[in-house]
Structure 1
């Protein structure tokens, strides 16, 4: 994750680096992205780049994280509005998020993200790297760390656990991760399977997400009495 040196930069320079990252990651998949292009557009030296980031993936994950800050706040607000109903909140969040992905200002970045990353890559993005990487970021940004931890605790507290089968915080976090994987994989599948007449079928992608969400919520296996009713 970004070094202390990066966070000590003037906000204007940090923003210029992230704008350069957006440009490069919007026109190239991570595997094809060029540090040379980024440092040129950001008006920094290559040596400075490595003072700020370990490598280009380091910058990529941080850029994705920066896009998700508003989404996190929106999710928490929606969770409160739906009185802690996690499944209703995910349905509501996905319906808004999918519009941002396919029609928002970062549409090209998201397209490269979802069409070029394998399962390992998507897993890494969803969890924002592994635990060691997260701890490194939190150590570098103590104020952000406190806010992130506070938001996470608030989210866990807001969820109405009487509606879901979880025993503790750890299980609830696993459920969050599972729901995020469903959301990400549905969008990735949408890019591959639902492009017609020059556009992506957002309605169909949303229907598939709701179907998967319903399977997880109610179970995909029919009970015997339900089979007899058919």
Structure 2
């Protein structure tokens, strides 16, 4: 996360840095992105950058959180509107986020996020699914509240989970399924130069149905 020094900057300067981050991280993956380009476009000295962020990864994941600031809230709302049905809530959440990711203002950035994500990246973009947080105390409190709100929204009586640990495992599984479905959609773009949002939604729906009901057919007696 940014330092207090960053948050003390004028809003215009903060936004200039975030605009530079958007440009660079939309151009290249985290691995290939250049801090020099961010510094140049933001018109700040290199030394100042490291007063604001630990490194380019710190900026990258902070930028992601600013872009997706309302995503966690919408996920909880979707589950609540589905009367606690975890899977129906995720399907609603997925349908809401896919157009934004593929055709929204940040589509190029999302393409680089989802086509280059590893386990470490998953933990950083979905921290509310992790049981432990390495953030500062204020962020840890927010992290715990996000977790509680999410867990409280779910009707556990419909799920085969024994405790919070198993519910976390299930949430991670569904979120991994969501992320890999998006990544597969972007790989299709790279192969064919096009995408089909309806097909991407159907793919996710099929995967969720397998999670809900199992993929094995019942044998005839």
The normalised TM-score by structure 1 is 0.85
C-alpha deviation, 1:122, in angstroms: 4.0
Is the 1:61–1:129 Cα contact (8 Å) retained in structure 2? Answer: no
Is the 2:25–2:112 Cα contact (8 Å) retained in structure 1? Answer: yes
C-alpha deviation, 1:10, in angstroms: 3.1
String of CA shifts for 1:147-173, please: whole Å, max 9, x gaps. 443232122112100111112222212
* CA RMSD, 1 decimal: 2.5
Aligned partners of 1:134 and 1:49: how far apart in 2? 25
| Alpha carbons of structure 1 residues 131 and 82: separation in structure 2 relative to 1, 3 Å | closer
Aligned partners of 2:173 and 2:132: how far apart in 1? 20
Structure (1/2) with the larger helix percentage: 1
C-alpha deviation, 1:127, in angstroms: 3.7
2:215 matches 1:216: no
C-alpha deviation, 1:180, in angstroms: 0.9
| Alpha carbons of structure 1 residues 73 and 169: separation in structure 2 relative to 1, 3 Å | same
Aligned partners of 1:118 and 1:11: how far apart in 2? 30
**Structure 1: gaps (5+ residues):** none
Report which structure shows greater RCO (CA 8 Å, sep ≥6). Answer: 1
Aligned partners of 1:78 and 1:49: how far apart in 2? 38
Aligned partners of 1:124 and 1:220: how far apart in 2? 28
C-alpha deviation, 1:185, in angstroms: 0.6
Aligned to 2:165: 170
Aligned to 1:204: 199
String of CA shifts for 1:130-149, please: whole Å, max 9, x gaps. 9799433x33xx2x554443
Aligned partners of 1:219 and 1:132: how far apart in 2? 27
The residue matched to 2:16 in structure 1 has which SS? helix
Q: How many residues align?
A: 221
Is the 1:95–1:206 Cα contact (8 Å) retained in structure 2? Answer: yes
2:186 matches 1:191: yes
Aligned to 1:120: 119
Is the 1:21–1:38 Cα contact (8 Å) retained in structure 2? Answer: yes
Aligned partners of 1:97 and 1:221: how far apart in 2? 30
The residue matched to 1:188 in structure 2 has which SS? helix
**Structure 2: gaps (5+ residues):** none
Note the 1:21-60 alignment, pairs <5 A.
21-60=21-60
Aligned partners of 2:75 and 2:178: how far apart in 1? 14
Aligned to 1:61: 61
Is the 1:187–1:205 Cα contact (8 Å) retained in structure 2? Answer: yes
The normalised TM-score by structure 2 is 0.89
Note the 1:143-158 alignment, pairs <5 A.
145-158=140-153
2:15 matches 1:20: no
C-alpha deviation, 1:3, in angstroms: 2.2
